[in-house]
Amino acid sequence: MNKSINELLSALTLAEKASLCAGLNMWMTKGIERLDIPPVHMYDGTNGIRKTNSDEEMGITTENVPATCYPTGSAIGSSWNTELLHEVGVALGRESKAMGVELLLGPGVNMKRTPLGGRNFEYYSEDPCLTGELGAAFINGIQSEGVGASLKHFAGNNQEFEKMVTSSEIDERTLREIYLSAFERIVKKSDPWTIMCSYNLLNGTYTSENEHLLNDILREEWGYEGVVLSDWTAVNDRIRGLKAGLDLEMPGPAHYNAKAIVEAVQNGTLSEEQLNRSVSRILKLVERVTGNKDTDSSDVPEYHALARKAAAESMVLLKNENAILPLQQESISSIAVIGRFAKKPRIQGAGSAKVTPTRVDIPWDEIKDLLGDTISMGYAEGYPEDDSMNEELIKESVSLAMNSDVAVLFVGQPEYAESEMHDLKDINLPEHQVKLIQAVAAVQPKCIVVTSSGSALAMRPWVQHVPGVIHSWLSGQGMGKVIADILFGHTNPSGKLSETFPVKLSDNPSHMRIRGENGKLYYREGLFVGYRYYDRKELAPQFPFGHGLSYTSFSYTDLEVVQVDKGVTVSFQLKNTGKRKGKEAVQLYVHDEECKWTRPEKELKAFAKIELEPGENRKIVFELEERDFSYYNTKYNRWVAETGFFQISLGSSSKDIRITERLHCDFGKEEITFHKFSLLSEWLSDPTAKAVLEHCLNDMNEHVTDKVYLSEEFVGFWEDFPMIKVFQMFGQNWMNERSPDDVIQELIARVDRARK
């Protein structure tokens, strides 16, 4: 653009301004040729670029332009590696420029309320701290290359079932602490150039026109100045949306809404100033993405190597009894490779995130290449492509396993199970795979299972019968090579679960309310999502949040915690106590011992992935802020950190806590805002208010028979009474000229004066 944004606003007609607020077609914004305003080209991109062959097609069920397919969100979320996410973001930015893509529609950062979520494979985690840090790193990487990112889906979109007509009913505290926290962290740490609103309603209002969400929180409170665009067809009332802060409707051209915008300005329903704000933000986006036209040629081999690196960081070694892994080539002469996924791997989920990969590493081929002629390899299909039971395939697999030194089974959720637009029916493996594992494990004690899925799996029917389990997630086009390398020790696994794996689906806290009824889904489990619930319920999961084994071991020692101003510095020594180089994802959890409000047993507040040589020792330091000790107080509508004792815990998972320190943190005295329904206990907890109240009660006691003294016995009985009720109970004869309301207002005024 040759003119400034203000100059363009002056030159644009009302009709042109309205037209800019919707796309030109499926994947482009509208340009204005006479003013040299170019369109912006955007495509889906959570784990790779899904560029269609035409800007007029969705490309959901067709092959698109080949691009690097990286691990899906749930997989790379288990890397716990912000540097890796930044590196992948940079690579996607470069690949985008080479493909003519200026805005990449990702990442997806919604919380995993239930493991049945159809798009869970696109999302990082059940925890907002982990999700927020990874998402910010990913976006900073993309946008460092001059390509915009689109943070999605904002907000409360945690299911696919009837999502376009269902209201997510979430109380304000849960909304702030769980479902908005990652978005807030990302907005403040990476300033995404766009944010995509979700399809659903939030507390009765579509997110595309939700003023509390888009204006009060996102714009006013968080200070976001970028473009908010709709998910495709997520717009309900276009004028309400513009007023709330929805700038861009996708797809376009939506001529009917452009006409409605013009009419709304002309009849005064929408001010031109409001329209100009949205147009200005769209023009700023155009300026940003067209300012860097450096189009280095795409280096496909380099990107594939990064896809392998990302897969290696993402896979999780769940179980390794008797150190069955890594397999020792010199001690085995034959291996049975069983399961269709060994030759036809699942590398990603379905729907708008499905990438056409540039190449795919096949596990069978990669194992064969790694072993060469040193070990005999046999293959059995194991199970059919559909859900039918085929006993012959199981018998064939059992025979092969019996006559081999070790069996490796490749199983997982079928291709059709995990996709946008529908949720999963359960989290068990298909029955034919369960029977296959049980049958093979019965004849071959050296049995290793490699699972593939984009969400948590229930494993109880079979996991106790096998000594080794690797969860490969949906780890992109490089996963086949990485599985081979982990099996035989060329790669030391370092992934840790980014979500809890329950023993069974009904253990999940949302199980009683997984689907909405009559257009409403109540999030009645509140704050207790994922590990927060399992901790509070004292319910053991199959594998806890943060769990992941290694071929080496680590020790945690010398923990020190110190409060500095209103922050806390945490330091400790991490040592690789094993014989192999490895990476440990260190997790720091905080527990508030004394909060007046209900809080989880522990909350993740920081993490780091550290690589150490055998015997290497390193000091790790975390800096926590006051916000890390805070909860969202809906009484005052702000974040509050209460002075008191906190536990700082460091560990290898949410259940494997290695060291803990107790610290008294002084965050100052919270000034209570009093009103007539403030409790007696609240008045007594504030020294100034207590003094004012005592003086008032002394005056009252001179005129009443039933005198009030703030004795331990009196307070113990009446402390939960609002002060207005205390005066109504004991001050009837005393208040001749004044009402209880008048007395309370006088007391509040005295407190305010005393505080000044």
Q: Which tens digit of pLDDT belongs to each residue from 226-236?
A: 999 999 999 99
Residues 283 and 327 in one domain: no
- Quickly state the pLDDT bin for 59 (edges 50, 70, 90): confident
In a domain, 210, yes or no: yes
- How far apart CA 359 and CA 334 sit, in angstroms, is 29
Whether residue 78 lies inside any domain: the answer is: no
Q: How far is Cα 727 from Cα 732, in angstroms, rounded to an integer?
A: 7
CA dist list (Å): 32 to 35, 88, 372, 719: 6, 34, 60, 67
CATH number, domain containing residue 492:
3.40.50.1700
**Assigned domain for 670 exists:** no
Instruction: Give residue 17's pLDDT.
Output: 98
Local confidence band at 298 (pLDDT 50, 70, 90 cut-offs): low
Per-residue DSSP letters for 553-565? -EEEEEEEEEEET
Give yes or no for residue 296 having a pLDDT over 80. Answer: no
> How many CA within 13 A on the CB side of residue 318?
30
Distance CA 686, CA 459 (A): 53
Q: pLDDT band at residue 737, thresholds of 50, 70 and 90?
A: confident
In a domain, 46, yes or no: no
414 shares its domain with 326 = yes
Angle, CA 388 vertex, CA 382 and CA 391 arms, to 5°: 50
State the residue range of the domain holding 399. Answer: 301-537
Instruction: Answer whether residue 88 shows pLDDT above 90.
Output: yes
Confidence (pLDDT) at 299: 61
Q: What share of the chain is helix, strand, coil (3-state, %, to 5)?
A: 35, 20, 45
Amino acid at 742: D
Angstrom distance (rounded) from CA 349 to CA 118: 9
Q: Are 21 and 278 in contact (CB under 8 A)?
A: yes
What pTM value is reported for the model?
0.95
Higher pLDDT pick, 304 / 695: 304
- Judge whether residue 722 has pLDDT over 70: yes
Of 665, 699, 729, the position where a domain reaches its end is 665
Question: 205 is written with which tokens?
Answer: 């209002």
Q: Is the pLDDT of residue 415 over 60?
A: yes
* DSSP at 178: I
SS3 track for 641-658: CCCEEEEEEEECCCCCEE
CB distance 643 to 668 below 8 Å = yes
Please report which confidence band the pLDDT of residue 512 belongs to, taking 50, 70 and 90 as the band edges.
confident
**Given this model, what pLDDT does residue 293 score?**
62
pLDDT bucket at 32, cuts 50 / 70 / 90: very high
What would the mean pLDDT of 701-716 be, rounded to a whole number? 82
Question: Is the Cβ–Cβ distance between 232 and 43 less than 8 Å?
Answer: no
Percent of the chain residues past pLDDT 90, beyond the cut: 84
Closest CA to 53 of 356, 359, 420: 356
Exposure letters 301-333 (e unless 16+ CB within 10 A, then b): eebbebbbbbbbbbbbbbbbeeebbbbeeeebe
Which residues are 67's β-sheet partners? 357
Q: Residue 248, SS3? A: strand
| Catalytic residue flag (residue 426) | no
Task: Look up residue 556 and give its two tokens.
Answer: 């945690």
Closest-CA residue to 348 (of 88, 109, 68): 68
Q: Which position among 44, 127, 231, 361 bears the catalytic label?
A: 231
SS3 237: coil
Vertex 149: Cα angle to 143 and 155 (nearest 5): 140
Each residue of 60-69: pLDDT tens digit?
A: 888 999 999 9
Quickly tell me which residue has 């890796």 as its tokens. 84
pLDDT confidence of residue 658? 98
Average pLDDT over residues 7-12: 96
Q: For strand 194-197 and strand 201-202, is the pairing parallel, antiparallel, or unpaired?
A: unpaired
> What confidence score (pLDDT) does residue 740 get?
86
- Same domain? 284 vs 365: no
Q: How many structural domains are present in the chain? A: 4
If one compares 704 and 84, the residue with the highest pLDDT of the two is 84
Q: How far apart are CA 624 and CA 648, in angstroms?
A: 10
pLDDT for the residue numbered 520: 96
Q: What is the mean pLDDT of the chain?
A: 95
Residue 679 has pLDDT above 80, yes or no: yes
How do strand 644-651 and strand 657-665 relate by DSSP bridges?
A: antiparallel
Identify whether 201 is part of a domain. yes
Lowest mean pLDDT among 171-185, 282-296, 326-340: 282-296
Boundary-marking domain end, from 512, 537, 562? 537
Cα-to-chain-centroid distance, residue 740: 49
Residue 118 lies in a domain: no
From CA 412, how far away is CA 419, in angstroms rounded? Answer: 14
**Claim to verify: residue 177 and residue 270 sit in the same structural domain:** yes
- Looking at the fold, whether 585 and 700 belong to one and the same domain comes out as no
Shared-domain flag, residues 689 and 618: no
Per residue in 431-462, pLDDT (tens digit) is: 999 999 999 999 999 999 999 999 999 999 99
At 720, list the tokens.
Answer: 């939960």
Q: 10 Å Cβ neighbour count for 666?
A: 11
pLDDT > 90? residue 492 = yes
511 and 616 together in one domain: no
Residues 6+ apart with CB under 8 A from 596: 642
> What is the reported pLDDT for 611?
98
How crowded is residue 191: how many other Cβ atoms within 10 Å of its Cβ?
A: 17
CA dihedral angle for residue 676, residue 680, residue 684, residue 690, rounded to 10 degrees: 50
Residues 274, 310 share a domain: no
Q: Is 664 exposed, middle or buried (0-12, 13-18, 19+ CB in 10 A)?
A: exposed
165 and 283 within one domain:
yes
Instruction: Give which of 236, 412, 222, 405 is closest to 327, Cα–Cα.
Output: 405
Neighbours of 41 (CB within 10 A): 18
* Separation of alpha carbons 344 and 176, rounded Å: 42
**CA–CA distance, 610 with 608 (Å, rounded to integer):** 6
Regarding whether 316 and 286 lie in a shared domain, the answer is no
pLDDT of 364 higher than 80: yes
339 and 410 Cβ atoms separated by less than 8 Å: yes
Longest dimension (CA), the chain: 102
28 with 55: CB under 8 angstroms? yes
Rounded CA-CA distance 183/622 in Å is: 22
What values do phi and psi take at 437, rounded to 5?
A: -60, -45
Helix, strand or coil for residue 261?
A: helix
For position 205, which CATH number holds?
3.20.20.300
- Strand (E) positions, 401-496? 406-412, 447-452, 468-471
Residue 58 has a pLDDT of: 85
> For 89-146, how does the pLDDT look when each residue is reduced to its tens digit (9 = 90+)?
999 999 999 999 999 999 999 999 999 999 999 999 999 999 999 999 999 999 999 9
For residues 482 and 375, membership in a common domain is answered with yes
Q: Strand ranges (DSSP E) for 280-375? A: 316-320, 334-338
Question: What is the mean predicted confidence (pLDDT) over 352-374?
Answer: 96
Residues 173 and 221 in one domain: yes
Does residue 241 lie in a domain region? yes
State residue 222's pLDDT score.
Answer: 98
**Is pLDDT at 571 greater than 60 in this prediction?**
yes
Does residue 374 surpass a pLDDT of 80? yes
What is the structure's pLDDT at 730?
83
Which SS3 state, helix, strand or coil, does residue 529 take?
A: coil
Beta pairing partners, 197? 154, 230
Can you give the pLDDT at residue 376? Answer: 97
What is the torsional sign of CA 738, 756, 671, 718?
A: negative
- Distances from the Cα of 376 to the Cαs of 208, 437, 487, in angstroms? 59, 21, 16
Confidence of residue 215 (pLDDT cuts 50, 70, 90): very high
Cα–Cα distance for residue pair 193/224, rounded to 1 Å? 9
Q: Flag whether 79 is in a domain.
A: no
The last residue of a domain, from among 262, 290, 318: 290
